[in-house]
Amino acid sequence: MIQFILKGIIRDKNRSLLPIIIVALGVTLTVFLSGYLAGVFQDIIHQNARFETGHVKIMSRAYAENNEQMPIDLALLDVEELQESLKNSYPEVEWVKRIRFGGLLDIADEKGNTKGQGPASVMAISLFSKDSHEVERLNIENALVKGSIPSQNGEVLIAHDFSEKLNVEIGDEITYVGSTMYGSMSFQNFIVSGTVHFGTAGFDRGAVVMDIVDAQTLLDMENGATEILGYFETGQYDSEKATKISAAFNQSYASTDDEFAPKMFSLEQQNNLGDMLAYSNYMSQIIVIVLIFAMSVVLWNTGLLGGLRRYKEYGIRLALGESKGSIYRKSIVEAILIGAMGSILGTILGLLATYYMQEVGLDISEMITQSSMLMPSTLRAKMIPSQFYIGFIPGVCAMVLGNMLSGLGIYKRQTANLFKELEV
């Protein structure tokens, strides 16, 4: 039976071509939007994890309450011991310490007079440690615009846009002006070894990257850090594992009231990323539901038009003795086959569109120049396993639902009037 129906679909293009095109367009849109949303949200989450949140992050309780102000006087102390304890307790996670702080950069001319100043957001990482993967994690080599990665203490990287604004060249000496964690003034000269562009507007406006040892000396923060970040060895964020680890760690410090006691946060508990993850899942579901409804309405109308065109065909089949139920069931099978054909075509087109957006992307750098949120300057789609089957849900369901609604007219045919209708 299926082979017979399939031959009818292929030979009679008038009854199959339009529904296949409609289904293919709807499935293409579903598959592409699914990949596009997945790519955009995953890029935003990955960007935040690399630069700010980690998969899990540890801060002192007091620091966490004022996190946006970067209060270095509330930083963690004895971080070497804490980091070693974390490695023993959670060996599947890589633990890295960082210091984030702000200050003023002063640029002097040949005579020693100030020729430019600007506020800087400094991120101190382990640049020289062999056990650290911070350089690879932040993709510093590919982010380099000019110069080289610091090779010794006293050298720093500066955001390329920031360097152009301050007219700083490679090898120039810059002076950091700020305060230590104990409130005293701090001045230190550094050599610019290179400029970087990370593609994140909020970071590229005034970022400085230095080694964490330089920062500890500068801030009078021996064996201290503002945060310890944890990254899963797989490189992918695991919500269930992160929640379990953070809950177990916090439980071990539940009995103390010390405001400087460490507290762990999962990625979802930071920067409203939990809401963003939930939003991405809801959006994918909403897209599928809306497209099923919209395509069902269109295919219902298409089915009604097709039913009118096939009015005599149904009459002849009834006159020959075929039951109404048999005709209705075969129309549903026909709808499944047409829906499957349209879904296959639409899935292929959707995957091609996703691949193009994954490789080329959409440059939005001009739109986020004033944004403080960590997000990539180029939005890219991402091919994900669910794209290979998600299009069949609206494609087949909408086609079947549309044919079921339009096919109800078969049961309204009056067998007694068949011969009068066929004579016309």
- Token representation of residue 119: 């506020």
Question: Residue 39's closest CA among 285, 381, 320?
Answer: 381
Query: What number of CA atoms fall less than 13 Å from residue 314's CA on the CB side?
Result: 24
d(CA 48, CA 40): 12
Digitized pLDDT (tens) for each residue of the chain, 424 residues in all:
666 566 666 666 666 787 888 888 888 888 888 888 888 877 878 888 888 888 999 999 999 888 888 899 899 999 999 999 999 999 999 999 999 998 899 888 777 777 778 888 899 999 888 778 888 888 888 888 899 999 899 999 999 888 888 888 898 899 999 999 888 888 899 999 999 988 776 677 788 999 999 999 999 998 899 999 999 988 888 888 999 999 999 998 888 888 889 999 998 888 777 777 777 777 777 877 777 777 777 766 666 665 556 666 767 777 777 777 777 788 788 888 888 888 899 999 999 999 998 888 776 656 555 554 555 667 788 888 888 888 888 788 877 877 777 777 666 666 655 555 555 5
Cβ atoms of 342 and 24 closer than 8 Å: yes
Which two structure tokens, joined as six digits, stand for 85?
Answer: 């304890």
Annotated domain spans of the chain? 2-47+275-423, 56-236
**Residue-wise DSSP of 364-399:** -TTTSTT--S---SEE-----TTHHHHTHHHHHHHH
pTM (2 d.p.): 0.73
How long, in residues, is the chain? 424
Burial class (CB in 10 A: 0-12, 13-18, 19+), 226: buried
Identity of the residue numbered 46: H
Give CA–CA dist 328/340, Å, rounded.
18
Residue 190 near residue 174 (C-beta atoms within 8 A): yes
CA distance 377 to 387: 25
d(CA 171, CA 155): 9
